[in-house]
Structure 1
Amino acid sequence: MAWFRKDKKPRPPRPQRLEIPPDAWDKCEACGHTDIREKFSRNHNVCPSCDHHRRIRAYEYASLLLDEGSLDEKDVELKSVDPLEFPEYKGRLKKALEKAGEHDAILTLGGAMDGMPVHLGVMDFAFMGGSMGSVVGEKIARLGQRSLEKKWPLILVSASGGARMQEGVLSLMQMAKSSAMLAQLAERRIPYVSILTNPTTGGVSASYAMLGDAIIAEPGAVIGFAGPRVIKQTLGQDLPEGFQTAEFLLQKGMVDRVVHRHQLKRVVGSLLRHMSGKPAALGWSST
């Protein structure tokens, strides 16, 4: 009666072991939560466990803020050089270009935010720590000039360790250069919104980052001029807990609002429409 029995045959071994590639996973540096990298990416690089705002690249931030299909990059031809012949600077620039791309430490664009034309500059920490060199100052000045000519609001997203030491006083002069341009925008009543991400320090925080008509910060962002150790040594006393975080600065009136990355486009768009006294445009054109 073997005709109704099913003989069990051993399964042949798999010829190849399936493994998840190591770069498929990512880990939050704040809480240690490990998850699939794609999940972090879909969440705009905000940790799904502790809500820590991790750094994102300039193009990702621009895509987050501007309407799809409206991004128009400006001043791509501007490149950093070595005017002071600083030791090993040329080599570091070459490595930074290979790692971060051709836009130097800032990406500047024209585009639309909820249909409203704007100019946007986004610093990229991946390019030499987002350091402010001559190219950064020139790009901001040119973007501000375009805002003056077209009367478009200006948005700058800061992520920087400060001035680029390899360019010496030329780097420090970018503080005055960018601040002078922003003063012209203020005279013409053209809105300027500054968005501070982690970190915003040094000469950037001492210039255009803190000159916005509205200053918005991401949750947990470190914002300040010098580091805690330098300040403690200068003052000779202990510092308050978290005194350089966005939340602390909000309490002290240095920041107008702390906004989650998921809500940033809606909040900034609404703020700009209010400051401009205009409704969102139905269409946008780069011409």
Structure 2
Amino acid sequence: MLKDFFGKRKKYASIPSEQAKSEIPEGLMQKCNGCHKIYTRKEMNNNLKVCPNCGFHHQLNAWERIESLFEEGTFREWDKQMITGNPLEFPDYEEKMEKDRKKSGLNEGIVTGKGILEGQTTAFAVMDSRFRMGSMGSVMGEKIARAIENAKNESIPFIIFSASGGARMQEGVLSLMQMAKTSIAIKRFSDAGGLMISVMTHPTTGGVSASFASLGDYNFAEPQALIGFAGRRIIEQTIREKLPEDFQTAEFQLKHGQLDKVVHRHEMKALLGTMLDMHKKGGEVS
């Protein structure tokens, strides 16, 4: 009888907890990809999506990045209307692009424009990995080239945040051509005395890492960002050697001279402001 009584209590006691569980809104909580601790999304967002416990940097989308850097209401987007076609008539490509547009709210995997950062006007481009994994297609390359050209014409600095899986296979050689197009635009900008700052975030790989992402006057990265060209497994199979555990991390690249600095997200805005201040026309530093 006592067994039945306590059995019933256990059974009934479970009902409120199940109800409470069902009443928690979906997407309210987020698990850290680094230490696996659980936080509310609000808490994580308020911390710029950096884990309060282990410091793991979760990905920011394009507009979250812009809001974290620019003075409110100052950012003006360029070339928003540009949409990628299907030049090679790749099967299902248009359907996948439309799906990504609805998911991300973007027409392409990059946002370009200009705004005021720490009191100074700068041209800006930021990639968004929600759109085709941030892969570089013909429209992305064109938007970057136009943003650099605008920066040159307006005599303002250019900052780009990269996050990409590389060239977009559905556009074949047209995608690979963007490596040359963006590199030439940067060379013209540099010859005109322009300042370019490149910030690599997780991940920055393939043709993006081999072109514009590595051509800044200053090349920075966020902690633990994956940065490289070919994948780890392919390299190990090619050279028949085991690579270091930290291979292709931002810290590894810094140690081997491929980066100027690894910058915590909470320090990024202040650092960019300092760099812009150092390179103001006239050479005055406040």
TM-score, scaled to structure 1? 0.90
Q: What CA distance in whole angstroms lies between the structure 2 residues aligned with 1:32 and 1:270?
A: 34
Q: Which residue is equivalent to 2:29?
A: 25
Aligned residues: 265
Q: What CA distance in whole angstroms lies between the structure 1 residues aligned with 2:285 and 2:188?
A: 24
SS in 2 for 1:111: strand
Q: Which residue is equivalent to 2:171?
A: 167
Q: Which residue is equivalent to 1:180?
A: 184
Pick from 154, 158, 161 the counterpart of residue 158 of structure 2.
Answer: 154
SS in 2 for 1:243: coil
Shift of 1:279: 5.3
Give 1:204's aligned amino acid. Answer: V
Q: What CA distance in whole angstroms lies between the structure 1 residues aligned with 2:198 and 2:150?
A: 17
Q: Which residue is equivalent to 2:231?
A: 227
Q: What CA distance in whole angstroms lies between the structure 2 residues aligned with 1:117 and 1:272?
A: 9
| Structure 2 residues not aligned, in runs of 5+ | 1-15
Give 1:201's aligned amino acid. Answer: T
Are 1:192 and 2:192 matched, yes or no? no
Give 1:233's aligned amino acid. Answer: Q
Q: Which residue is equivalent to 1:135?
A: 139
Q: Which residue is equivalent to 1:108?
A: 112
Q: What CA distance in whole angstroms lies between the structure 2 residues aligned with 1:63 and 1:109?
A: 13
Pick from 51, 54, 57 the counterpart of residue 55 of structure 2.
Answer: 51
Shift of 1:213: 0.2
Deviations 1:7-50 (A, max 9, x none): xxxxxxx9xx6532232111111211101110000000011111
Q: Which residue is equivalent to 1:5?
A: none
Q: What CA distance in whole angstroms lies between the structure 1 residues aligned with 2:139 and 2:69?
A: 23
| 1:1-287 → structure 2 map (5 Å cutoff) | 19-276=23-280, 277-278=283-284
Q: What CA distance in whole angstroms lies between the structure 2 residues aligned with 1:272 and 1:111?
A: 13
Shift of 1:103: 3.6
Give 1:71's aligned amino acid. Answer: F
Runs of 4+ off more than 2 Å = 17-20, 275-280
TM-score, scaled to structure 2? 0.90
Give 1:34's aligned amino acid. Answer: I
The structure where helix makes up a greater share of residues is 2
Q: What CA distance in whole angstroms lies between the structure 2 residues aligned with 1:225 and 1:108?
A: 24
SS in 1 for 2:163: strand
Give 1:73's aligned amino acid. Answer: E
Q: What CA distance in whole angstroms lies between the structure 2 residues aligned with 1:103 and 1:63?
A: 19
Give 1:197's aligned amino acid. Answer: T
Q: Which residue is equivalent to 2:5?
A: none
Q: What CA distance in whole angstroms lies between the structure 2 residues aligned with 1:184 and 1:278?
A: 24
Give 2:217's aligned amino acid. Answer: D
Shift of 1:101: 1.6
Deviations 1:262-282 (A, max 9, x none): 1101001101221332557xx
| Structure 1 residues not aligned, in runs of 5+ | 1-13, 281-287
SS in 2 for 1:126: coil
